[in-house]
Amino acid sequence: MSTILFIGLGNMGSGMAANLVKAGHDVYGCDLSDDLRAAHVAKGGNSVDGALKDFDASAVDAVITMLPAGKHVAKIYMEDMAQNLKKGSLLIDCSTIAVDEARALGQGAVERGYPAVDAPVSGGVAAAEAGTLTFMVGGAAEHFEMARPFLEVMGKNVFHAGASGNGQVAKVCNNMLLAISMIGTCEAFNLAEKLGLDAQTFYDISSTASGQSWSMTSYCPAPGPVPAAPSNRDYQPGFATAMMLKDLRLAQGVAEGAKASIPLGSHAAQIYTMMEAADKDDLDFSGVMKLLKGTL
């Protein structure tokens, strides 16, 4: 069993850290929130109280970060990390951050003597709690193999996507595709209804025809056909529009640098920005349906 320093016990991190505790690891939870640290202790973990820099990390084998954005990860990696973290301790960043930032942080860590991988996740809070996340991992093959046993405790699919930063590449490309397919699915259901075809009938046909997609069959944005989908609870997330927009903006940033044309990805970002401007970015990303219907 290993000693793990887990930084970021929010919506996702709390469930992930709890699964590591359940697997028998000694997990020191670190968060700005006293309440979240207390909740982690109540589930059998330990707490990093006081400044992270002063924490005695001499026994730590792996540091896992699950933080809101790249600037938070950079601050931890470059400034706030426990000072006596031993060389050779593995750094696993599960946050969704920019590709170039992940590459810079990963390579910088390796140069300082810390094996490091970027390992962003697909799957929301429920998957984090159930230990069924998908991990997309970037980094050297030997660092991926070091990370794998920890990731397998928190997820059901663990993929090595290639060199440092490639986990983030997989993540932004996947989510850009998801956004585009969700908006297309909303348009199709809305048009079908306006033309007199009810959602269930259109679903029965299209889900077995060439229009089928995950957005339709697992997350149908029209209420009715998929009972567990957020559309049946007035688009409460799920996966919030704000989160999707964050990922689409990351995709736009990297696309520009790579001179890759992403006309539909950019358009999807604009559509979700309309939801943000209407102060509705707390709705699930399938809530584009409300935007199309004029009921946002």
Q: Which region among 119-127, 145-153, 156-164, 182-190 touches ligand NAD (by CB under 6 A)?
A: 119-127
Q: Is residue 67 at the binding interface for ligand NAD, with CB under 6 A as the rule?
A: yes
> Which residue in the list 75, 86, 156, 171 is annotated as catalytic?
171
Q: Is residue 182 at the binding interface for ligand NAD, with CB under 6 A as the rule?
A: no
**Interface residue with ligand NAD, options 4, 5, 6, 7 (CB under 6 A):** 7
Please, what is the minimum distance in Å from the beta carbon of residue 223 to ligand NAD? 21
Q: Is residue 8 at the binding interface for ligand NAD, with CB under 6 A as the rule?
A: yes
Question: Cα(153)–Cα(147) distance, rounded to whole angstroms?
Answer: 10
Q: Which of residues 89-108 bind ligand NAD (CB under 6 A)?
A: 95-96
**Interface residue with ligand NAD, options 41, 110, 125, 177 (CB under 6 A):** 125
The residue among 260, 265, 290 whose CA lies nearest residue 278 is 290
Q: Is residue 30 at the binding interface for ligand NAD, with CB under 6 A as the rule?
A: yes
Q: Cβ contacts of residue 260 below 8 Å, gap of 6+? A: 254
Q: Is residue 10 at the binding interface for ligand NAD, with CB under 6 A as the rule?
A: yes
Considering beta carbons, is residue 10 or 162 the nearer one to ligand NAD? 10
Question: Cα(72)–Cα(288) distance, rounded to whole angstroms?
Answer: 30
Give φ, ψ of 71 to 5 degrees.
-65, -30
Residue 52 is which amino acid?
A: L
How far from 48 is each of 190, 197, 231, CA to CA, in Å? 50, 57, 39
The residue among 154, 140, 155 whose CA lies nearest residue 106 is 140
Distance of CA 271 to the CA centre of its chain: 21
Q: Is residue 164 at the binding interface for ligand NAD, with CB under 6 A as the rule?
A: no
**Interface residue with ligand NAD, options 106, 124, 223, 230 (CB under 6 A):** 124
Considering beta carbons, is residue 136 or 292 the nearer one to ligand NAD? 136
Q: Are 87 and 58 in contact (CB under 8 A)?
A: no
The residue among 226, 209, 44, 19 whose CA lies nearest residue 125 is 19
Binding-site size for ligand NAD (CB under 6 A) equals 25
Give φ, ψ of 255 to 5 degrees.
-65, -40
**Interface residue with ligand NAD, options 3, 11, 181, 217 (CB under 6 A):** 11
Q: Is residue 170 at the binding interface for ligand NAD, with CB under 6 A as the rule?
A: no
Q: Are 29 and 37 in contact (CB under 8 A)?
A: yes
Is residue 280 part of the annotated active site? The answer reads no
**Interface residue with ligand NAD, options 12, 98, 99, 220 (CB under 6 A):** 12
Q: Which residues form the interface with ligand NAD (CB under 6 A)?
A: 7-13, 30-33, 36, 66-68, 72, 76, 95-96, 121, 124-125, 239, 243, 246
